[in-house]
Amino acid sequence: MSNKYETVIGLEVHVQLATKTKAFCGCSTKFGAVPNTQVCPVCLGLPGVLPVFNKKAFEYAIKLAIALDCDLQSIVKFDRKNYYYPDLPKNYQISQYDMPLAYNGKIVIDAEREGEFRAIGVTRAHLEEDAGKLIHDERLPFSYIDLNRTGTPLLEIVSEPDIRTPDEAYKYLTVLKQIIEYLEISDCNMEEGSLRCDANVSIRKKGAAELGSKVEIKNLNSFKAVRDALFFEEVRQEEILEDGGSIPQETRLWDADKNVTISMRSKEAAHDYRYFPEPDLVPFEVKKGDIEAVRKNMPELPAKKRKRFLDEYKLNAKDVDVLISQRDIANLFESVAKNVQKPQIAANWVKGEVMKHLKEKNTDVKGLKLNPEDLSKIITMVENGTVSGLSAKEILADCIENGDKPDDIIEKKGLKQVSDEDELSRIVSEVIDNNVKSVTDFKNGKTNALSFLVGQVMKTSKGKANPKIAGEMLQKMLLS
């Protein structure tokens, strides 16, 4: 987009809270069950039943409110949001209207200029229940309805229109997801619908105070989709305005295959949901003791952990950002760093080899058969020369794959590093005899030939030779 216009973006994020049961009944929230098997008269809205609010959902909502530095209402009140849709059996949704649980918060993101930060305001965060799910099959003249999701507790987080670029929107979502995962209140799995996002975007001439016509974008199933859709939409809107047209207020769908937004419906007239207080749920007081109990059990949040890692372990900012990207990765690094001589080496192993295995297996730290003590031992054995770096990677792979202990793997595979001078001398002599050209190159001043010869020693010894001692021995023999 040109410098003539400014983009204004606001995001609405729905987060499924990771409670074992639904918001107002005892039905399971487990994903993937046979359709319509996790329902009861309460979540189906049958006559003669009453909802009971899930206390754990309240606790999780308070956690996020504290993490986002929100103000909290002194009273929790629920409202009915009335509308008809096939996946909403009650024809109303229990939500919060005029008194959201939390409001006036913020999320701090990296600014466009490196090393600077800026706060994106959070207008509100309110509790509500999820609807069911429509399942479409293009081959059939009808759709299926799965009501298992109906009544699952949601927290809707609405940002202020403070976001100015698609990249900032991406950063905002990344930080929000990271905070939620640190709090362990949701798995944030977008494929399963645990985290869903709608974007509102408009453009205006730079310096203008009045907002442009707002366009809502739906069908955003990844953070990349959010960013791509916003990039497309700001360009589309600018082209319309530059051609003398006007932007209609509407809802548009993102088509990831074609990389375009498609008009879905007009939003010129606001929906009238006829909100009124939920008569079956009595408002209740948010007690200071409840808030403090939650605050007391809050984990260290990413921003604070980031600062501590920079100060305490003297790592660079890029390494720290990788390490704190997931709570379990940060915890693994810290457990290992306390047991090895240099924290930077622990950081290199975690962000390198460990994260490589995480990516290959498409899992998290809990899914690996690796404990911090074993990783610490592997690193220490490399540092004291017991095994080579190459062998250490093989040992780590076995630990992860089979859950075996490092000492057992070394014994079983004979991976202990060769530091014995007689054995190394034999291997070095053999390498010198078999690589006459490289020996000549080294003697003629080509120092990189030494690296090649060390590599040949490692190859001949099947990675068991101590490379430092091998290098020293090669130099001694070649210069004698």
184, 167 in Cβ contact below 8 A?
Answer: no
213, 246 in Cβ contact below 8 A?
Answer: yes
Q: How many CA atoms lie within 13 A of 110 on its CB side?
A: 13
CA 355 to chain centre: 14
**Token output for 440:** 């000549």
Digit-coded pLDDT (tens) for 148-157: 999 999 999 9
Digit-coded pLDDT (tens) for 63-116: 999 999 999 999 999 999 999 999 999 999 999 999 999 999 999 998 776 668
The mean pLDDT value of the chain amounts to 93
pLDDT at residue 389 is higher than 90: no
pLDDT of residue 268: 64
Name the band, by pLDDT with cuts 50, 70 and 90, for residue 478.
confident
411 Cβ neighbours under 8 A, 6+ residues apart: none
**Token output for 111:** 């600014």
Residue type, 66: I
Helix axes 467-479, 436-443, angle to 10 degrees: 70
pLDDT of residue 126: 98
57, 17 in Cβ contact below 8 A?
Answer: yes
Q: Is 254 exposed, middle or buried (0-12, 13-18, 19+ CB in 10 A)?
A: buried
Helices (H), 75-222: 166-183
Overall pTM > 0.75: yes
Digit-coded pLDDT (tens) for 115-167: 688 999 999 999 999 999 999 988 999 999 999 999 999 999 999 999 999 99
d(CA 174, CA 170): 6
d(CA 358, CA 453): 34
93, 80 in Cβ contact below 8 A?
Answer: yes
∠ Cα 191 235 195 (to 5°): 15
CA 317 to chain centre: 18
Any idea what DSSP says for residue 445? T
Delineate the domains of the chain, giving CATH numbers in brackets: 5-290 (no CATH), 300-413 (no CATH), 421-479 (1.10.10.410)
Nearest Cα neighbor of 5 from 245, 239, 251 is: 239
∠ Cα 220 226 230 (to 5°): 120
What is the residue whose two structure tokens read 């080899």?
353
Residue type, 74: S
Digit-coded pLDDT (tens) for 321-346: 999 999 999 999 999 999 999 999 99
**105 forms bridges with which residues in the sheet?**
122
